[in-house]
Structure 1
Amino acid sequence: MKLSTKGRYAVMAMVDLASHSRGNPVALADIAERQEISLSYLEQLFGKLRKGGLVKSVRGPGGGYLLARIAQQTRISDIILAVDEPIQTTRCSPGTPAGCHNNKGRCLTHDLWEELGNQIYLYLSSVSLHDICERRILGSSGMFHGGDRPGTVAAAQ
């Protein structure tokens, strides 16, 4: 499974918003500059995020966007689904009895890939914006990206 640019950029922008808001609206132009994302693309994404109830807009001077709920309650899966990013690992349409073969049969590995998609969704549902802002997510190297902390690989060397 590969997450599209739409899903990745939406998560990046929401983490930026959560990190920089501090109760004040954040301009999309500022997010675009910090995250190196096209402003017009962000406008499209934030339209979907607003419709999904994840952000609210503030008009006028000093306007921009705010989180619609606290970062601890905003799940990464919510963000991805709000921008119409399917969390799907099979070629088949989710929830339909028809499979991906020409004869509408399911492939031998269908259940494997479907369960992988379920696990990805469960993981993304277990992670909040706050978790990412607080750097509670480790990369595959086991090292924190925000500097060395006790117990990390870099600190042990």
Structure 2
Amino acid sequence: MRMSTKSRFAVNAMIDLGLREAGGPVPLAAIAGRQQISLSYLEQLFSRLRRAGLVESTRGPGGGYTLGRRADAISLEDIVVAVEDELGAAASGAPAQDLWSSLDAVMLRHMATISLHHLLEEQRAKGVAVDVKPVARRGILPKPPVQQPRTRAPNSVFAFARSLAD
């Protein structure tokens, strides 16, 4: 089994989310910017993660994503299985298919032992700077009063005619 780019992006995005969710829902655009991942690609990954129950979404202003379960209840295997189309799909009839299948199983068993919480703690131990300020919510402000421009121009045909007569 090879860790695909899709799996790597999903794991990195989940770590990013886990580090910052204390400040409230994390917008995908913010994760995409920090991880340098296309927003549309990240939306596809998070759709799969949401279906697997690994993340929850909040709509509207101030919305974004939070973890769907506690970080210690999410394994690396959960993330990879959620985003991959076909795990361990070896070419049928390949001479070493049994070998690859058993190696895939070993790798998945190992991934099951690594929790997202463990990955988050590793990042914190490395001193990764995390800004967990809540995202500023946009409120609805009243429109400022419109000030009419003051002009000396006539405001009607009749006033215009009077101004010409003067």
Same fold by TM-score, threshold 0.5 exceeded? yes
DSSP 3-state at the match of 2:22 = coil
Alpha carbons of 1:122 and 1:74: their partners in 2 closer, same or farther (altered >3 Å)? same
Partner residue in 1 for 2:119: 132
Shift of the alpha carbon at 1:87? 3.4
Shift of the alpha carbon at 1:6? 1.0
Q: TM-score, normalised by structure 2?
A: 0.69
The higher-RCO structure (CA 8 Å, 6+ apart) is: 2
Q: State the alpha-carbon separation in 2 of the partners of residues 24 and 46 from structure 1.
A: 17
Q: State the alpha-carbon separation in 2 of the partners of residues 89 and 74 from structure 1.
A: 24
DSSP 3-state at the match of 1:90 = coil
Q: Where does structure 1 lack aligned partners over 5 or more consecutive residues?
A: 93-98, 101-106, 137-144, 148-157
Instruction: Select the structure of larger CA radius of gyration.
Output: 2
Pairs within 5 Å for 1:140-151: 146=126
Specify which structure has the higher proportion of helix: 2
Are residues 1:115 and 2:102 paired?
Answer: yes
Residue by residue over 1:47-105, the C-alpha shift from the partner in whole angstroms, topping out at 9 and shown as x without a partner, is 1111111111001111100101000000111111111344327333xxxxxx33xxxxx
Which one is further off, 82-91 or 54-63?
A: 82-91
Pairs within 5 Å for 1:8-157: 8-22=8-22, 24-88=24-88, 90-92=90-92, 99-100=93-94, 107=95, 109-135=96-122, 146=126
Shift of the alpha carbon at 1:134? 0.7
Count of residues paired in the alignment = 126
Contact kept, 8 Å, 1:6 with 1:85, in 2: the verdict is no
Q: TM-score, normalised by structure 1?
A: 0.73
Q: Where does structure 2 lack aligned partners over 5 or more consecutive residues?
A: 128-166
DSSP 3-state at the match of 1:53 = coil
Q: State the alpha-carbon separation in 1 of the partners of residues 22 and 114 from structure 2.
A: 20
RMSD: 1.9
The one-letter code sitting in structure 2 at the alignment partner of 1:118 is A
Residue by residue over 1:92-149, the C-alpha shift from the partner in whole angstroms, topping out at 9 and shown as x without a partner, is 3xxxxxx33xxxxxx2x3332222111100011111111101118xxxxxxxx826xx
The one-letter code sitting in structure 1 at the alignment partner of 2:19 is S
Alpha carbons of 1:23 and 1:85: their partners in 2 closer, same or farther (altered >3 Å)? farther
Q: State the alpha-carbon separation in 1 of the partners of residues 106 and 85 from structure 2.
A: 16
